[in-house]
């Protein structure tokens, strides 16, 4: 199974400041024929269902604000919120969708400092 490890577990950032979340996969999740990383990021606000933010490691889902960006390749990936807003308080999960069993990171809780 591909193990997804996120860091940190939690993060407190001042409004308007940058938040960075890391995700490491135990194996590569690159689909070579299309040269795309099968890595997604989800946001889950308190009491709500998860929402897809990013797929193919760096492509924003439609409607996601451009303060959310992501990058990475190989086994190391990053989600960045460039200027934290109050509505961004949530738990963020990375997920590999390269192969079953699909696996999620443990989550990173982002709070306001």
Partner 1 sequence: EVQLVESGGGLIQPGGSLRLSCAASGFTVTSKYMTWVRQAPGKGLEWVSIIENNGAAHYADSVRGRFTISRDTSKNTLYLQMNSLRAEDTALYYCASGQGFLTPLWGQGTRVTVSS
Handedness of CA 44, 104, 61, 86 (dihedral sign): positive
In the complex, least distance from residue 24 CB atom to partner 1, rounded to whole angstroms: 16
| Total residues interacting with partner 1, rule: CB under 8 A | 24
Given 11, 30, 89, 102, the residue binding partner 1 (CB under 8 A): 102
In the complex, least distance from residue 113 CB atom to partner 1, rounded to whole angstroms: 23
| Tokens representing residue 23 in the block | 């995700």
Given 30, 52, 64, 89, the residue binding partner 1 (CB under 8 A): 52
> CA 28 to CA 17: how far, in whole Å?
31
Q: Which stretch binds partner 1 (CB under 8 A): 11-19, 67-75, 77-85, 97-105?
A: 97-105
In the complex, least distance from residue 55 CB atom to partner 1, rounded to whole angstroms: 6
């Amino acid at each position: 199974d591909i193990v997804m490890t996120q860091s940190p577990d939690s993060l407190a950032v001042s409004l308007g400041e940058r938040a960075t979340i890391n995700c490491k996969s135990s194996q590569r999740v690159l689909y070579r024929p299309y040269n795309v990383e099968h890595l997604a990021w989800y946001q889950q606000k308190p009491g709500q269902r998860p929402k897809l933010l990013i797929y193919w490691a760096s492509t924003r889902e439609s409607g996601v604000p451009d303060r959310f960006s992501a990058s990475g390749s190989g086994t190391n990936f990053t989600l960045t919120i460039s200027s934290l807003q109050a509505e961004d308080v949530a738990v963020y999960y990375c997920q590999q969708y390269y192969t079953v069993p699909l696996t999620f990171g443990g989550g990173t809780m982002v709070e306001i400092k």
